[in-house]
Chains A and B, each alone.
Chain A
């Protein structure tokens, strides 16, 4: 028998008795970041492939939410910082070795890009303004309706209209940038954790792919949730099914890797195979968040009458709880004591 105890009474806040320096803020940010990344990847991918007509929600409506998700995620990150007034130090250096530096710079690029794309979609999403609201008149003016579906408003100042048409000309570049940065953001949320070799449960390169795929799956679920187009819902529920399949494969792959690795990683895996995280992971994340919604989606595609929103909400909840489980479990896995 071997017993190791700290006898000098080390009880550092956030570190003892088990590490908990990161809490809900990081989990919420990882979820929102993954969701935003997934939405931008779909928008970029289908815009480049000229599917604007088929996927109104994925290309126009859902990207309107992305800046809000990113800003909420960044606010969660900001709450997590302990030396808040120095946060600008992130932007005085580039540390290629530090995933967090990568993430900070990626967010610096992708957040403004997502805002630009959301603004460019304003006319498509809100073609009819109610001009009785005086705030709307600060930035826009009413125009005569030319066609049935064209917007009844335009930007008030000439430079705004010029800027809009300039950006619309460069839209293909914007969409490529959103696609590429979306992939980087989606993978980075996993790499952020997997770069810590001190935490055996995080220290697996599968995590980058797992978070990217989980982000794509939650994004597909979000599109299903807000879409009104039946064909689009059907298509994204098929994508979601594929993503769930890949996610399940990656989860099995991850545990196979742990069990074939060093003692500390075997112990990390044991937390999920009979240990404290067994139920919340296999019962809540895998069954309730992946298998059950997949079953519902398959039954719906087979023609059963099931509300697709039910599966979508389960997927979103599952994605959120997955981030929580991984953030907390990683901090419980360790080398010493």
Chain B
């Protein structure tokens, strides 16, 4: 099992519904967010190109946060999710410094918090909260190891890109272009 997510940048309208769904589902403290939307504008008027990206933790294969964590609180769960065990986390912020996507933050309770790919929902056979609420259905979630899964198929048939692959983290958040 290797869970991954793909976001269709051609369909995303940047409504931030995914952000609110995550905050509600995961009880994210007010003023924080585990996912966010980035708007990229390229070119000069009138030749402009716009891209919307819903971003979150990339659950990297070669996760620098897992490498830098001194206590093993940041770890890889079965299925490739990168998670933080709260009772092991000392709140040193080494993982926050190590993340090139700035996907982590210190929870007001002291431990470090981040996207979990909604592991509790995935375990029940549901999709992550952000994916299931998306009004334009531009997000895909599934198992990369299964060649028949929706995400494997869409990555086979569409062009995609990764965010800063040169950071060497082997991210599992794909952007369809």
B64, A198: Cβ atoms closer than 8 Å: yes
A198, B97: Cβ atoms closer than 8 Å: yes
Residue in B19, B36, B89, B106 whose beta carbon sits within 8 Å of that of A14 in the complex? B106
Contact (A22, B93) CB under 8 Å given A84-B110, A95-B69 = yes
Whether a CB of chain B sits under 8 angstroms from the CB of A83 is yes
Whether a CB of chain B sits under 8 angstroms from the CB of A7 is yes
Nearest CB in chain A: distance from B137 CB, A = 19
In the complex, per-residue mask of A7-36: 1 if CB is within 8 Å of any chain B CB, else 0: 111111111100101100000000000000
Residues of A within 8 A of B43 (CB): 1
A100, B96: Cβ atoms closer than 8 Å: no
Residues of B within 8 A of A13 (CB): 31-32, 105-106
A100 vs B88: C-alpha distance when bound (angstroms): 15
Contact (A1, B70) CB under 8 Å given A81-B90, A262-B166 = no
Residues of B within 8 A of A195 (CB): 67-68, 98
Nearest CB in chain B: distance from A197 CB, A = 6
Interface size class of B (residues with CB under 8 A): 35 or more
Residues of B within 8 A of A260 (CB): none
Whether a CB of chain B sits under 8 angstroms from the CB of A3 is yes
Whether a CB of chain A sits under 8 angstroms from the CB of B142 is no
A100 vs B70: C-alpha distance when bound (angstroms): 5
Residues of B within 8 A of A21 (CB): 93, 96-97, 106
Residues of B within 8 A of A19 (CB): 96-97, 102
Residue in A4, A14, A93, A262 whose beta carbon sits within 8 Å of that of B96 in the complex? A14
Nearest CB in chain B: distance from A156 CB, A = 40
A295 vs B100: C-alpha distance when bound (angstroms): 41
A278 vs B97: C-alpha distance when bound (angstroms): 23
Residues of A within 8 A of B89 (CB): 83, 86, 89
Residue in A10, A87, A98, A262 whose beta carbon sits within 8 Å of that of B94 in the complex? A98
In the complex, per-residue mask of B69-112: 1 if CB is within 8 Å of any chain A CB, else 0: 11111000000000000111111111011111110111001111
Residues of A within 8 A of B88 (CB): 86, 89
Residues of B within 8 A of A65 (CB): none
Nearest CB in chain B: distance from A321 CB, A = 21
B67, A83: Cβ atoms closer than 8 Å: no
Contact (A93, B97) CB under 8 Å given A4-B40, A7-B14 = no
Whether a CB of chain A sits under 8 angstroms from the CB of B16 is yes
Nearest CB in chain A: distance from B23 CB, A = 10
A14 vs B100: C-alpha distance when bound (angstroms): 15
Whether a CB of chain B sits under 8 angstroms from the CB of A101 is yes
A6 vs B55: C-alpha distance when bound (angstroms): 10
Q: Tell me the dominant secondary structure on chain B's binding face.
A: loop
In the complex, per-residue mask of A60-84: 1 if CB is within 8 Å of any chain B CB, else 0: 0000000000000000000011111
B97, A15: Cβ atoms closer than 8 Å: no
Nearest CB in chain A: distance from B49 CB, A = 10
Whether a CB of chain B sits under 8 angstroms from the CB of A257 is no
A residues 47-65 in Cβ contact with B at 8 Å: none
Residues of B within 8 A of A163 (CB): none
User: What residue in chain B is nearest A85 (Cβ atoms)?
Assistant: B110
B102, A15: Cβ atoms closer than 8 Å: yes
A22 vs B99: C-alpha distance when bound (angstroms): 14
Whether a CB of chain A sits under 8 angstroms from the CB of B163 is yes
Whether a CB of chain B sits under 8 angstroms from the CB of A104 is yes
Nearest CB in chain B: distance from A323 CB, A = 15
B16, A93: Cβ atoms closer than 8 Å: no
User: What residue in chain B is nearest A198 (Cβ atoms)?
Assistant: B100
A83, B97: Cβ atoms closer than 8 Å: no
Residues of B within 8 A of A146 (CB): none
User: What residue in chain B is nearest A16 (Cβ atoms)?
Assistant: B102
Residues of B within 8 A of A6 (CB): 36-39
Nearest CB in chain B: distance from A79 CB, A = 11
User: What residue in chain A is nearest B16 (Cβ atoms)?
Assistant: A8
User: What residue in chain B is nearest A77 (Cβ atoms)?
Assistant: B92
Whether a CB of chain B sits under 8 angstroms from the CB of A92 is yes
Whether a CB of chain A sits under 8 angstroms from the CB of B33 is yes
A36 vs B116: C-alpha distance when bound (angstroms): 41
- A-B pairs, top 4 by smallest CB distance, nearest first, are A82-B91, A83-B91, A83-B110, A198-B100
> Chain A residues in contact with chain B, CB under 8 A?
1-16, 19, 21-22, 80-84, 86-87, 89-90, 92-93, 95, 97-101, 103-104, 195-199, 262, 331, 334-337
> Chain B residues in contact with chain A, CB under 8 A?
14, 16, 19, 31-33, 35-44, 52, 64, 67-73, 86-94, 96-102, 104-106, 109-112, 163-164, 166-168
